[in-house]
Structure 1
Amino acid sequence: MGARKRLRAENNKEAKKQVSFASLRNVPTSPRKMRLVADMIRGKEVNTALDMLKFSSKEASRRVEKLLLSAIANWKEKNEGVRMEDANLYVKSINVDSARILKRLRPAPQGRAHRIRKRSNHVTIYIDSNVDNQQEIKS
């Protein structure tokens, strides 16, 4: 690996240590259905997002709720002295990417076959504190 590439990789690694996130891989739900839930909480305060997910009727919201709780736990681990209520956490970004697709065949009339695609996805949630951003603006 070249010097520039190594330096950039080290910088990316250090930047990732500062960010609190959680990711969920190979969720057996179509990305389109998961994006509906992700759009619902993007940019919202963490407590509001948890309430929205808890009372949502969508099946994907249960998985995203658990993932958000994991991201909050990761944030607490990095910021041990800070209370969650004082930090004013919010969902900075949430990404839903397509994962592997299982391809199956379903019999069709007259000896034909129709392809069925069983889609899955990857979800990543980034959370951040509004207090840090407000202090930077005031400075």
Structure 2
Amino acid sequence: MEAVAKLKNYPTSPRKMRLLADLVRGMEVEKALAVLEHNAKHPAVPLRKLVVSAISNWKQANEGGDETTLVVKTIFVDGARTLKRMRPAPQGRGYRVRKRSNHVTVVVDSK
């Protein structure tokens, strides 16, 4: 039986988060946690917490199950709200800055 964990409105661009999501998709959970722990990119910390949360959700649903056989079955990143801000530009103009955020969904399941 699979378990799901979601992270909503995390303030980093979806493209940056997808780079890490692509890295751990299909991996065994222990290996994915090790990869995320030693990755230098800043979204690695909340993504690692999200995988740990999915593992604990799986534990609650499957009491007595063996968590060493868990795999990151599905992980996907969707765009969330975009905050629009203005930055001063030359000659009285303003440049629009789009501060993006994302939603991440992780599904873990046994092999």
TM-score normalised by L of structure 1: 0.78
Name the SS for the 2:77 alignment partner: strand
Q: Does 1:100 pair with 2:87?
A: no
Identity among equivalent positions (%) equals: 56
Superposed CA RMSD: 0.8
Q: CA deviation at 1:54?
A: 0.3
Structure 1 residues not aligned, in runs of 5+: 1-17, 131-139
| Stretches of structure 2 lacking an aligned partner (at least 5 in a row) | none
Q: Please tell me whether the aligned partners of residues 77 and 104 of structure 2 are also in contact (alpha carbons under 8 angstroms).
A: yes
Higher percent of residues as strand: 2
Amino acid at match of 1:49: A
Distance 2:66 2:90 in 1: 62
3-state SS of 1:101 partner: strand
Residue aligned with 1:124, SS: strand
Distance in 2 between the 1:98 and 1:82 partners? 34
Matches within 5 A, 1:113-124: 113-124=94-105
Check if 1:38 corresponds to 2:21. yes
Runs of 4+ in 1 over 6 A off after TM superposition: none
Relative contact order: is structure 1 or structure 2 higher (C-alpha 8 Å, sep ≥ 6)? Answer: 2
Structure number with higher helix proportion: 1
Aligned to 1:59: 42
Task: Tell me if 1:111 matches 2:62.
Answer: no
d(CA) in 1 for partners of 2:67, 2:8: 26
Aligned pair count? Answer: 111
